[in-house]
Amino acid sequence: MNEVLIHIGWILILMKVLAILLFVWLANDPLRSLIFGRPKNIPKIEFEHSFFIYICVALFFNVSGTFIGDLILGLGMGVQATRQVFYIYFSIHEALFMVTVLHWHNLKRCEFARITTYGFYISATIMMLFLFRYVDRVIFDTDILRGIYSQVVALSNLFITLIFISYPAHRLHQLVVEKFLNNKRINE
pLDDT at residue 60 in the model: 94
Query: What DSSP line would sit under 55-109, residue for residue?
Result: HHHHHHHHHHHHHHHHHHHTS---HHHHHHHHHHHHHHHHHHHHHHHHHHHHHHT
Residue 187 has pLDDT above 60, yes or no: no
Cα–Cα distance, 170 to 164 (Å, whole number): 11
Measure the N-to-C terminal CA separation of the chain; round to a whole number of Å.
Answer: 57
pLDDT at residue 127 in the model: 93
pLDDT at residue 101 in the model: 96
Q: pTM value?
A: 0.84
pLDDT at residue 185 in the model: 58
Range of the domain at 118: 2-187
pLDDT tens per residue, range 137-168: 989 988 898 888 888 888 888 888 888 888 88
Domain count, the chain: 1
pLDDT tens per residue, range 42-101: 888 899 999 999 999 999 999 999 889 888 888 888 888 888 899 999 999 999 999 999
pLDDT tens per residue, range 100-140: 999 999 999 999 999 899 888 999 999 999 999 999 998 99
Whether the Cβ atoms of residue 119 and residue 55 lie closer than 8 Å to each other: no
